[in-house]
Structure 1
Amino acid sequence: MVDIYVLPLKYKEFKKIINFMIRGLHVETKTILIKNAIIIGDEIKKGSLITENDKISEIDYSNSSLNHADEVIDAEGKVLSPGLVNTHTHLSMSLMRGLADDMPLDTWLNDHIWPVEANLDGEHCYAGAMLACAEMIRSGTTCFNDMYFFMDHVADAADKAGIRGTLSHGMIDLGDEEKRKAEFKETQRIIDKCHETADGRIKVAFGPHSPYTCSRELLEGVRKEADKQGLRIHIHVSETQKEVEDVMEASGKRPFEYLDEIGLLGSDVLAAHAVWLDEDEMDIIKERGVALSHNPASNMKLASGVSPVSKLLEKGICMSLGTDGAASNNNLDLLEEMKLAALLQKVTTLDPTAMPAQKVFDMATRGGAAALGLEDEIGTIEVGKKADLILVDMKSSSLTPLRNPISHLVYSANGADVDTVICNGEMLMKNRELLTINEVEVISRAEEASEDLLSKL
């Protein structure tokens, strides 16, 4: 008789084994053919593309060899683009859209947002995240980077919606040791439960909120744990002048200098905003390989300032694009964000050649992928990469005549022009119809969740 010993497994390890077994049993191949599209690849020209399961398997510019697939899309008059990557979001804040407009960040946070957030629960965050996923899919985003609370509920929403995301619990201790321990405990819970789930679409990062809300001990602990577990770090840095002044008063150094001194910075760090930088900080960012997320709409709405994106790009720093949350934007339309990013740099530098359309488009695609450590998987249309793709319908009055697809995507298009969205080889939207989300139910549930949340104030 042979004894069988069953070792105790963590939830995450057990789930990985089950998913592996399921994938091993699943031998059916699913293919999608997109033909007659204007493909934004190594070159921009008309062609066809086939996805096989979760990857791009073939690209053909002769439009002759690709004819058969399980599903065929005739993309005549449409541009095929990599899915957009939104590198700084707070999805569940979609419930707070329009709650507190036209005020400075400190007032916005302390008097309005944080009091509401004190009453959040998992159901609220799920409802808000589902609403945000619907909005992002409709406007062409296939991958996002989120920091907020009840992140297992956000992961559940992203899983159901079929979208790709990196999630982090927003860690804030304000110098309180017990709070610090609780933040690490919650972060580890999310890592164990959610990292590398949803067929690998969902990943987890560490999310220290900022240098002014996190103690040195918390930040140093994050670096230690991120190194130990091989996870990335998502943090707000230098969003406002007041933040810079507060960090300097507390540490004697500017925010990025302080973070460098304590050893937090590295190529696994994505810093959101980075508005108020001096030359030395830009050099530190470049030297440490830190990626940045530029959030022009939120920065303008809160009058936080203008990030020196043109300078940062000149230095070869990895730049990506984010919307921030819907409470400070007030939408998650990354196509609209591209135009704002370009125009803001031009008017600030008084240079119309600053931030040309191609650079902005790269920030929203390959730049976003690199910022999340996913450049080998997404961000460009190449054989072997994940099938994260969008079709934008150019047959509209606002996009005619079609001469320069990149120019049109950056300066003329908006989320309403997105026709089809594919993520990980799965169709999430076709002919502007959401396929993985019941939009009517999601909107109704979000309205109810928002009313319930505000009633607790």
Structure 2
Amino acid sequence: MILEGRPLRFGEGCAACAPLRLTLRADRVAMAEPAGPEAAANILMPPFANAHDHARGIRPTALAAFDLPLEIWLATMTGAPVCDPWLVVAAALGRQALGGCGAIMVHYTRPQNPARLEEELRDVVRAARAVGVRVAIAVSMRDRNALGYAPDEVILARLPPETRALVETRLLTPPRPPAEQLRLADALAESCNDPLVTVQYGPYGLEWCSDALLSAIAERSATTGRRIHMHLLESRIQREYLDAEHPEGPVHHLDRLGLLSPRLSLAHCTLLRPDEMELLAERGVTVSVNTSSNLHLRNGIPPMAEMHRRGVPLATGLDGFTVDDDDDAFRELRLNALLHRGTSQDEGLPLDALFSAACAGGRQAVTGQPPAEPMAEGAPADIMLLDRAALAADLVLESPDAALVAQRATRGALRRMVVAGREVVRDGALTGLDLPALQAELDAQARHGAEGARNWREATAPLRKALRDFYAAGLHRCG
């Protein structure tokens, strides 16, 4: 396979990068040599890496779950229609591939049927193979606080009897012991023989995991070298709850449990304090910034530029809730560029640092592989080809390619995407799946379950009201 274009290398602007002709063999770049001037009509760059996602094939907006604070949104999403898990994951991965994502973190927190979790995790592997992207499966682990930021009985006590019975039956199942949860992740990792799929430990978050579970995960990660991915400090209410529970601060508490290391990536971190940023930087922990999701769920804007200044390794994620609800990583790049660029003459996040986070930082969080110079001989054959001619059609003065992509590119600019030497996207379509047909089948299944979802949402309205009242009264801060 041969690709030609102007290479976009972070930090160089690439306004004057000479076109390259890349020859790909197997899963590597076999040769990189000069190309003719006609190749300047294209841009070559690494694919984006979505460093935090949940593979939601049915998007929240389709379920009328939007414009809600995080804690109420989580309760609202409990009644989603049950669909074929392979369809759910394949649709999500396929849409993200079309949006430029060649590597994706799947934090598998909401199985369609918890009783067949092992089978569903293997469905994730099958879907990744069919689409052709690199995937990390963060096997979700939790053992407390299923309903909110308090012991379940505290929330249940605030519900009328009929709602309490429904919630107990559907949402409260005894958690598996920590050892069993670890065995599940280890067994999946040992049985998965796909070089594009890795398995990570996926503790849901400090709010939802006991110290015993988190300590066991930290110890097993240190023994096996397996990576860990989890949520942290996504919302103001989480910050208040965790500060009350851990007076030394949640980040320092995680450090005391042995979790902070270069093997850990954290999603969100919207409300980090300076000392916590410095500790994460010191420990080499990667933070996945999920800007669109944070805006949709009223969590604010993460301090991405400040984290960068303090040396925190950064990545970016889509979290299944992009700015236009279309899984377009190019639009997410632009939103991050605009929100984190600084104000007035105060410089914020440099553009090259944003590209590095969106591509290299995320890829390392997903694959665990250290960054390598992209598009060089011997490098992995993970490359996107963009239509530069369309992006630059009206340019009067030359602009750096990085700025051009950040200012204008959408998924429509993506002509080809290659992952591990396999062409995954060509001219707006997946090569391995008929995504429109797959999405249509998934949508039909979801609509078939619409009445049940509507009935559940109506029946559990008292739960959402109880949670609103509980947090409004500050009861989550009781520590």
Normalising TM by the smaller chain, what interval? 0.7 to 0.9
User: How far is 1:307 from its partner?
Assistant: 1.4
Q: 1:76 and 1:190, CA in 2 relative to 1: closer, same or farther beyond 3 A?
A: same
Q: 1:270 pairs with 265, 268, 273, which one? A: 265
User: How far is 1:62 from its partner?
Assistant: 5.3
User: How far is 1:447 from its partner?
Assistant: 0.5
Gaps of at least 5 residues in structure 2 are 112-119, 147-171, 454-479
SS in 2 for 1:337: helix
Gaps of at least 5 residues in structure 1 are 1-31, 65-73
Matched residue, 2:98: 138
Q: Is 2:267–2:288's contact at 8 Å kept on the other side of the alignment? A: yes
Looking at structure 2, the residues matched to 157 and 193 of structure 1 have their Cα atoms a distance apart, in angstroms, of: 15
Matched residue, 1:446: 442
Looking at structure 1, the residues matched to 217 and 324 of structure 2 have their Cα atoms a distance apart, in angstroms, of: 29
What value does the CA root-mean-square deviation take over the aligned residues?
2.6
Q: 1:398 and 1:77, CA in 2 relative to 1: closer, same or farther beyond 3 A?
A: closer
Count of aligned residue pairs for this structure pair: 410
Matched residue, 1:109: 74
SS in 1 for 2:56: helix
* Greater CA drift, 160-169 or 186-195: 186-195
Matched residue, 2:136: 166
Q: Is 2:102–2:133's contact at 8 Å kept on the other side of the alignment? A: yes
User: How far is 1:400 from its partner?
Assistant: 3.8
1:45-100 residue CA offsets vs partner (Å, 9 max, x unmatched): 31111111011111112559xxxxxxxxx855110111111100111353434421
Q: Does 1:411 align with 2:376?
A: no
Alignment of 1:231-270 (within 5 A): 231-270=226-265
Matched residue, 2:316: 321
SS in 1 for 2:266: strand
Matched residue, 1:421: 417
Alignment of 1:5-404 (within 5 A): 32-35=1-4, 37-41=5-9, 44-61=17-34, 63=36, 77-99=41-63, 100-110=65-75, 112-116=76-80, 120=82, 123=84, 125-148=85-108, 149=111, 150-174=120-144, 179-181=174-176, 185=180, 188-194=183-189, 197=192, 199-326=194-321, 330-346=325-341, 349-351=343-345, 353-372=347-366, 374-376=368-370, 380-396=374-390, 400-401=394-395, 403-404=399-400
Identity of aligned residues (%): 22
TM (normalized to structure 2)?
A: 0.79
Q: 1:359 and 1:404, CA in 2 relative to 1: closer, same or farther beyond 3 A?
A: same
1:130-158 residue CA offsets vs partner (Å, 9 max, x unmatched): 11122112111100111013332222111
Looking at structure 1, the residues matched to 307 and 94 of structure 2 have their Cα atoms a distance apart, in angstroms, of: 32
* Greater CA drift, 207-216 or 325-334: 325-334
Instruction: Say which structure, 1 or 2, has more relative contact order (CA 8 Å, 6+ apart).
Output: 2
SS in 1 for 2:341: helix
1:223-268 residue CA offsets vs partner (Å, 9 max, x unmatched): 1222222210000001111101111222223221221122211110
* Greater CA drift, 198-207 or 175-184: 175-184
Q: Is 1:368–1:379's contact at 8 Å kept on the other side of the alignment? A: no
Q: 1:182 and 1:274, CA in 2 relative to 1: closer, same or farther beyond 3 A?
A: same
Q: 1:302 and 1:243, CA in 2 relative to 1: closer, same or farther beyond 3 A?
A: same
Counterpart amino acid of residue 365 in structure 1: C
Counterpart amino acid of residue 169 in structure 1: V
Q: 1:329 and 1:187, CA in 2 relative to 1: closer, same or farther beyond 3 A?
A: farther
Counterpart amino acid of residue 107 in structure 1: I
Counterpart amino acid of residue 108 in structure 1: W
Q: 1:143 and 1:48, CA in 2 relative to 1: closer, same or farther beyond 3 A?
A: same
